[in-house]
Structure 1
Amino acid sequence: MKKSSFIFGTILLALVNVVVRSLGFIYRILLSRTIGAAAIGLYQMVFPFLMVVITIPTAGIPIAVSKLVAKEKSVHNREGIYKVLLLSLVLGGSISLGLSVAVSLRINFIVNNLLKNPNLYYPVLWTIPAISIISFSSILRGFFYGLKEMAPAATSQVLEQIFRIVFVLSYLYYKAPSNPIAAATIAIIGISIGEVFSLLYLVLRFNFKKIMEKTHYLNVHSNSTLEILNHVLFISVPITLSRLISVIMQTVNAILIPQRLQVAGYSSIAAIETFGKISGMAMPLLYLPFTVTTALVINIIPNISEQLAVNNWQDIEYKSNLALRITLLMAIPTTIVYVVFGNHLAELIYDQEDVGKYLALISYGTIFLCMQHILSGILHGMGKQIITTVNYLLGMIVQLYCTYFLIPNPKYGIYGFFIGFILSTFIIFALNLITLMRYIKITVPLTQALLKPLFASLLMIITMIYTYRIFFNISSSNGLSTIISSLVGGGVYVFLLLITKTFNLKNLIENIK
């Protein structure tokens, strides 16, 4: 893939991610306002459990499919492409089936001993159908990404969000649940509904006739088949472990944070509501920049894999440094806006200013979070998934330590979680950066990539503050003032990037033609 097509693919995926995340974000806002903080807290206790379960078949295998399909495509091995897909579907399907059976047989143990809340029986029960559906759709998306066919995978994600939102909100509107547990159950069922339509679309877009005409692909005893399976496992297992650590931490936090807050003096209801505001309201805002970094990661993994197959290190260095610069252009202003302007955004979106206080504190880690994400993607593309897993584990140990020992201390309370989160994101970022510098030369200019975006971001936030004050004095409306000031501030930031030549619009247009 040429440099220009890499830029075009990133822009396309970023735009699609904006649509998908915007739909998801709007859904989360409407859901939180419809079912309340208590139901959101229960939903957030079950949702991480589902993420733990589906991480095993979906975290590493789709990335392995994308990487290996891109590699086989670079050497024009059509048979290898479909072998990778078939073996991955069989592997992912077998794992998801086993997990579904295990959850169904041990559901009482999960609810009573792991989640420690017997009222979560039906929400957990309704996670079972989602396991296999999500597994197959994720693998098929990885296949399309590896072929550089972004449209089917992207469209399926949009459809998943639309059908989930329509089902859940329509049900809640026509038949309001009688209690928070029923509301959380409906939200969980919506996950399966959305994924069903997503999978159906991917199946319709896929030509299975090409595979069925080549039945010899299913010869699992051939050396090439075993070799491909080994490659899939070598790539997917470390990535799966890394992602598993992440979602296990979410589950641990869902269980541990409310418990440790009660030790610090919070009531049971206050502890669940505080956790719901952070994990269900502040954190989704924090992860909005991932619309860009996810597009970069999805795009850069198969691209680096493709260039490694032909030993083109010059192109690998170019795309890696370009991805880092793009990430900084987005992460620096986002961090500043969340820290300074977070309370206005939270009041606009959730009508709860205290969520803005949490957002302002946790967003100090935004820039490190974004950078660790893209750095891990580059390293995964280079086949360094084991070291990224080790780096991530070290960071999570720090976060777990702070959660367990700082939160119960009344001096820190919930702020102990924020301290651990920021420290862990910085540690993972630093370790990934040091690792990458061992393999390629990082040539990110200090002035262009850091100082100019920082200068533009500071002027942007000053403009936003004064614009907000002017319009608030006129309208006395936080919502209108926040929207206008955000639009003006965003325009000022882009304008400053252009006049300082940090962002060359002419070159970008020429590159994507």
Structure 2
Amino acid sequence: MSKGSVGRDTCFLSVMQLLLQALGLMLNVFLTRRIGPSQVGVVTLISTFFGLCAVLASGNGFVSTSRFVSEEIGRSSGNPERVLRYAGICSLLLSLLVGGSVFVLAPWLAERFLKSAALASGVRLLAVTLPFASICACLKGYFHARRRVTIPAAADAVEFLMHGAALAFGVIFLLPVGHCSLFMLIVVSMLLGQLAAFCYLGVLYLHSRRACSNACTMCLRGFAWAALPLLLNSYLTSLLSTANDALIPFTLRQFGNSTEEAFAQFGVFEALLLPALFFPAVVLGCLSSILVPELSRNRGAGSGEDAQALIGSVLRRTLRFAGFVMLLFLLYGSQIGTLIGGDAFAGRMLRILAPVIPFIYLEIVLEGILRGMGKQNFSSVNYLAEYMIRISVLLICVPIFGFYGILASYYASNVIGNLVRLWMVRRLAGGIPWGSLLLRPGIALFAAWQCGMLLCRLLRLFALPLWAEPAVFLVLGGGVYLFALRVLDSMEQQKKTRNTSLHSVSGSFTVQTAPSALPRDIPARY
């Protein structure tokens, strides 16, 4: 795939995901105002539990399918259709095992974790969704590997629209009159979304599948063995993430908050703050999902130089993008927090979290690079260390400092974990040009900050709405930032060209000497 193709696919996915993220943030704001932040915290915990079950059931089927189908395509005589079949068999068996266990243990799970045995029927309904989610993940990975990124993006849109519409309808019309519980409403909306995506992907696959008679380079056992590190990585990440989320309300109560206050702060953090921070990173998530099959295909074809060039380009663009987003949240976090439905507390937290944005955004692309380069074992060990740091800081700091302890755990884990990832990727890429990664973006950020703030001070003389100043800075400051980067890159390119020319000219000034003066293979230079 050419850089242009990667760029086009990333742009398309970014537009789709930006729309979905915007709708998701609007849905969170709607739920926060309709049912309150404490109930949103409960919804977040339920969604986390469903996400854990889905990962346990699929075994990270999307990444496994995308990577191994891409490697099979990269080989001259592979059979990617059979690899998809292997992925579907493994994911389906795993989902039936996990779903059956959840179905049987539903009364115990409802009473132990949800504190209500009456919710067992909802847990059983949740188990029914798991096989559909697993097959959807495999089909999305297959279409990604085939470079038909529009299909998974459209499936995500279908799933979200069905899920969001059902949830909003139930909150408005069913929940106030007591026709269903909040938990049952969430589960039903998730089931409807998964069924819609399953039907959409299934029909498109049956319509576009390709007959292939080539011999596959791996068998079912070989696929399962190769996918095991990815499965363990996803299990480890999901279990630790779920444990971290479950500990936040618990530790906030240890600080002295009531149960309602603890869930309210947890709901604000998960439903408003994190979506706001991650909203600009949608383009990086799309790029990361494309990197996995692309780097895997390069590995299968033995094209190491192309992979190194792609890694360097991705890292450079990621840090430049993250730097400007960090500056935007540092300057206008308070206004953004108010615009997304929060209060002064939410705006202050956004400004405090702004400096960690480059590390958060780096993680998105670094994980895609590591998975595409076959470093799942390293990724798993690093995730384990990262979440151990996060949970340790959470348990120590939150009972002492309250909500600020959550921020401390977020800082510690993201900074340390992503510096380690960057070190490993630097080894894989054969060196990183730090000037293009840090120095030039830093100079451009300073120029954008000064010029943008000067213009915004002039705008404060007028009575403008709350969103006007961040929007003006986004346009004008962003324009200055891009212009400064272009000038600095052009200067660096001219410097390289001049050095190359001087080196070429100096190499041309040679003289003939007597055989006794110098060895024949060493020219004398002026």
Report the counterpart of residue 385 of structure 2 in structure 1: 394
Secondary structure at 2:398 match in 1: coil
Q: CA RMSD in A?
A: 2.9
Report deviation, 1:165. 2.4
Counterpart Cα distance in 2 of 1:362 and 1:128: 36
State whether residues 46 and 124 of structure 1, in contact with CA within 8 Å, keep that contact through their aligned partners in structure 2: no
**1:399-437 per-position Cα deviation (integer Å, ceiling 9, x unaligned):** 11111122112xx11212211111111222122222223
Question: What residue number does 1:170 align with?
Answer: 169
Return closer, same or farther for 1:380/1:210 CA change in 2, 3 Å cut-off: closer
2:16 match: 16
Residue in 2 that maps onto 1:88 = 87
2:318 and 2:362 in contact (8 A); partners too:
yes
In structure 1, distance between residues paired with 2:483 and 2:40: 39
Q: Is the 8 A contact 1:71 1:302 kept in 2?
A: yes
Q: 1:95 to 1:15 in 2, by over 3 A?
A: same
Q: Distance in 1 between matches of 2:75 and 2:122?
A: 47
Shift of 1:13: 2.7
- 2:434 aligned partner: 446
Query: SS of the counterpart of 1:136?
Result: helix
Identity %: 21
Q: In the alignment, which of 456, 471, 477 is matched to residue 444 of structure 2? A: 456
2:508 is aligned to none
The structural deviation recorded for 1:190 is: 2.1
2:474 aligned with 1:474: no
Match of residue 300, structure 1, among 287, 291, 296: 291
Equivalence for 1:155: 154
Given that 2:57 and 2:98 are in contact with CA atoms closer than 8 Å, whether structure 1 keeps it comes out as no
Q: In the alignment, does 2:31 pair up with 1:42?
A: no
Alignment deviations for residues 29-87 of structure 1 (CA, whole Å, 9 cap, x no partner): 22322322122111011111111111124453221211221222222446x21111111
Q: CA deviation at 1:121?
A: 5.3
Aligned residues: 492
Aligned amino acid, residue 189 of structure 1:
V
Which residue number in structure 2 is paired with residue 6 of structure 1?
6
Distance 2:409 2:68 in 1: 36
Hey, what's the Cα distance between the residues in 2 that align with 1:196 and 1:280?
25
Distance 1:11 1:408 in 2: 43
Partner of residue 509, structure 1 = none
Rounded to whole Å, the distance in 1 between the matches of 2:483 and 2:278 is: 25
Within 2, Cα distance between the matches of 1:435 and 1:70?
23
Distance in 2, matches of 1:496 and 1:134, equals 46
In the alignment, residue 145 of structure 1 is paired with which amino acid? H
Residues 69, 402 of structure 1: CA spacing in aligned structure 2 closer, same or farther, 3 A cutoff?
A: same
TM-score when normalising by structure 2:
0.85
Tell me how far apart the structure 2 counterparts of residues 480 and 236 of structure 1 sit (CA, whole Å): 49
Which residue of 261, 270, 278 corresponds with 1:270?
261
Q: Check conservation: 1:164, 1:191, Cα contact below 8 A.
A: yes
Name which of structure 1's ranges 457-466 and 241-250 shifts more when overlaid on structure 2. 457-466
TM (norm. structure 1) is 0.87
Bigger mean CA offset, 57-66 vs 325-334: 57-66
Cα distance in 2 for partners of 1:428, 1:117 equals: 38
* Deviation larger for 322-331 or 129-138: 129-138
Q: State the AA in 1 paired with 2:423.
A: I
| CA-CA distance at 1:235 after TM superposition | 4.3
> Given that residues 71 and 306 in structure 1 are in contact (C-alpha distance below 8 angstroms), is that contact kept between their aligned partners in structure 2?
yes
Aligned-pair distance for 1:355?
Answer: 1.4
Q: Residue type of the partner of 2:162?
A: F
Alpha-carbon displacement from aligned partner over 1:126-180 (angstroms, at most 9, x marks no partner): 5333322221111101001111111211211122222222222233334453579
Which of residues 418, 421, 424 is equivalent to 2:410? 421
CA distance in 2, matches of 1:318, 1:184: 48
* 3-state SS of paired residue (1:475): coil
Aligned equivalents of 1:441 and 1:167: distance in 2?
A: 50
CA offset digits 1:275-318 (Å, max 9, x no partner) = 11111111111222431222221111111111112211111100
Q: Which residue pairs with 1:73 in the alignment?
A: 73
| SS of 1:474 mapped into structure 2 | coil
Give the greater-gyration-radius structure (CA).
2
Gaps of 5+ in 2: 493-526
Q: In structure 1, give the amino acid aligned to 2:482.
A: V
Q: Report the Cα distance in structure 2 between the residues aligned to 1:60 and 1:352, rounded to whole angstroms.
A: 37
Q: Which residue of the partner structure matches residue 509 of structure 2?
A: none
User: 1:29 — aligned with what?
Assistant: 29
Moved more, 171-180 or 383-392: 171-180
1:228 aligns with 2:216: no
Unaligned regions of 5+ residues in structure 1, if any?
218-222, 505-513
Match of 2:100 in 1: 101
User: What amino acid is aligned across from residue 150 of structure 2 in structure 1?
Assistant: A
